[in-house]
Amino acid sequence: MDNQVLRNDFKNIRSWVFDLDDTLYPPSKELYAQMAERIRTFIMRALGVDEKTASVIQKDYYKKYGATVCGLMVEHDISPEEFTDYVHELDLSSIRPNPVLKTRLRALAGKKFVFTNGAHHHAERVLERLDLRDCFSGIFSIREAGYIPKPAEKTYLKMLDTFGIAANESVMFDDSPANILAAKKVGMKTVWISSNVENNQYCSVDDKNFCDYETPDLAEFLAELTEE
């Protein structure tokens, strides 16, 4: 698409909202494996089940509730703070600073926010590792969402309200098609980060027009919006 046409379409955007994992940094098999193992360990200890059963429970709840933590809350009365704090205590040494993305984010006119289904502390740590923490005016995590994860539309409305931003003046970047579709339904502009297709098996949607834009490379897309 012609860059001028693209820029025109974004000229009323005042707020830039980004998912965290697999959006602000690329999918990492190493981090997936770490997190999956910590989730399994938590479930094994909390429910007194073996590793295989824990793995089945994890997948079931992710599929049924959109986040494993929600299934554990609803079906087992587990404290969500305890779960998210434990699960997100990851070794993040594989995440490196991203100066290119930092430059692109800084070139955007308006405020930038993070909207994630992950833990608040995890988001803080990842942004520190990426050296992007000071690019963002706020983080809306699963805690602020009251443990009702994306793609619940009421969580998007709560996020917009919390940050004091208008849906029709904001854009959502996310690697999950289901999360993008929900953003579109509440009136946000949408950009799907398509670099994570094979890992997003639970997030496919039937609606072929679920996003306004698609890109495999966030920094490249932002460059088209901001470079002369």
Residues that bind Mg ion (CB under 5 A): 19, 21-22, 175
| Edge-to-edge order in the sheet of strand 170-174 | 138-140, 111-115, 15-18, 170-174, 189-193, 213-215
Looking at beta carbons only, is 57 or 114 nearer to Mg ion?
A: 114
Residue 10 per-residue DSSP state: T
Looking at beta carbons only, is 53 or 200 nearer to Mg ion?
A: 200
Find the shortest distance in angstroms from Cβ 175 to Mg ion. Answer: 4
Q: Find out whether the peptide bond into 149 is cis, omega within 30 degrees of 0.
A: no
CA 203 remoteness from chain centre: 12
Q: Which amino acid is at 123?
A: A
Residue nearest Mg ion (C-beta atom): 22
Looking at beta carbons only, is 27 or 46 nearer to Mg ion?
A: 27
The Cα–Cα gap between 179 and 190 comes to 10
Find the shortest distance in angstroms from Cβ 174 to Mg ion. Answer: 6
Find the shortest distance in angstroms from Cβ 22 to Mg ion. Answer: 4
Looking at beta carbons only, is 53 or 194 nearer to Mg ion?
A: 194
Looking at beta carbons only, is 14 or 124 nearer to Mg ion?
A: 124
Closest C-alpha among 186, 193, 191, 189 to residue 170: 189
Looking at beta carbons only, is 38 or 75 nearer to Mg ion?
A: 38
Find the shortest distance in angstroms from Cβ 151 to Mg ion. Answer: 11
| Six-digit token string for 37 | 């193992």
Find the shortest distance in angstroms from Cβ 109 to Mg ion. Answer: 25
Find the shortest distance in angstroms from Cβ 8 to Mg ion. Answer: 28
The Cα–Cα gap between 55 and 50 comes to 9
The Cα–Cα gap between 132 and 112 comes to 11
